[in-house]
Amino acid sequence: MLPFLRRIHEPKGWAILAALALAFAIAGPLVLEDQYLLILGKFCCYAMVALAVDLVWGFAGILSLGHALFFSLGGYAMGMYLLRSVGKGGVYKSDLPDFMVFLDWKELPWFWYGFDMFSFAVLMSVLVPAALGLVFGYFAFRSRIKGVYFSIITQALTFAAMLLFFRNETGFGGNNGLTDFKTLYGYSLRDPATMGFLFSLSVLALALAYIACRYLTVSKFGAVLTAIRDDEPKARFSGYNTLSYKWFAWTFSAALAGVAGALYVPQVGIINPSEMEPSGSIEAVIWVAVGGRGTLAGPILGAFLVNGAKSFFTAVAPDYWLFFLGFLFVLVTLFLPQGLLGLGMMLKTKGALRGK
């Protein structure tokens, strides 16, 4: 598998990746059971978040501990549409979502307007995370905040948003969040055909996200990002506006995480503030570290492997999952600084040297 992941870095490999993604998107719903479609669909969404983190951490040296916020905002935007599409089919037979009726809300809050339209919800799932990333990134990068300080601020921002969304009066369902979704664009979410469509859409979105990130990183833009990661003062002295490069990468990364959240929610059937917990962002960093920081393909591999292990441990030995995750992170940090993809490249290099 690792040789293939290295080959898709090549120009021809992009076409191979697109063809395989299309084939898997078509064949998956035909051969996989519904439960596996949901699991793999979720993993594709997680892999998109890993790509988003790797774009800013692996190539620009910006360690984010707040991407769970962007992921959740995209998920809430889609969840608001799914809840509004229920209409009067809820428990209380009201135009208002059930949780608002339960909390004795009299009218729909202004920020829920427009979410009865699918296109608006899709647009907001991209624009809201991107707008937050745009504003936050401007002030953070303009102030030249970086390193551990930037990481702490992103985590603090995510934690503050989580506490805000936990409050019932904010209008996002409080502790329970948004759930009890029934249809997506008129199609039942419990219909196997809908599940298969969401899985296929997640696979194709992941492939497109990889191609977009790869296009950016192999261009001059990616070269400048790498220069900023390695020595930002020198890059700035060379005449590059490092603020603009980091700002764009950060905003694009936030939007990508929002798209992942929008695809995630219809498949799991719920979105609540727990998705913003700091552990979620930390896990995304672990996916990138395990797979291989700065490789793009590695984070996808890491997201699938780590979440596959999580599914196994939570089913067989749930009490040991966090211990295993911590051990895995320490192991990678000490012995595999380039992740699994880097290990494969190192072994190939050693084999070539022995052959000589």
The amino acid present at 65, given as its one-letter code, is: L
Backbone angles phi, psi at 64, to 5 degrees: -100, 130
Instruction: Output the pLDDT for position 283.
Output: 93
Q: The whole model's pTM is what?
A: 0.92
- Largest pairwise CA distance in the chain: 78
Of the pLDDT bands very low, low, confident and very high (cuts 50, 70, 90), residue 354 is: low
d(Cα 97, Cα 85) in Å, to the nearest integer? 10
Residues 302-322 have a mean pLDDT of 89
Instruction: Output the pLDDT for position 40.
Output: 94
Nearest to 147 by CA among 69, 223, 57: 57
d(Cα 259, Cα 338) in Å, to the nearest integer? 27
Token pair, residue 121, equals 């919800």
d(Cα 133, Cα 73) in Å, to the nearest integer? 11
Nearest to 80 by CA among 41, 46, 113, 126: 113
Q: What is the mean pLDDT of the chain?
A: 89
Backbone angles phi, psi at 60, to 5 degrees: -110, -5
Share of the chain above pLDDT 90, in %: 68
H helices, E strands: number in the chain: 14, 4
Say if residue 98 is exposed, middle or buried (CB neighbours under 10 Å; 0-12, 13-18, 19+): middle
The secondary element (H helix, E strand) that includes residue 265 is helix 242-268
What size, in residues, is the chain?
Answer: 356
Residues 181-186 have a mean pLDDT of 89
Whether 168 has a pLDDT exceeding 50, the answer reads yes
The answer to whether residues 261 and 75 touch, using CB atoms and an 8 Å cutoff, is: yes
Using the 8-state DSSP alphabet, how is residue 238 labeled?
T
Express each pLDDT in 98-153 by its tens digit: 899 988 898 999 999 999 999 999 999 999 999 999 999 999 999 999 899 999 99
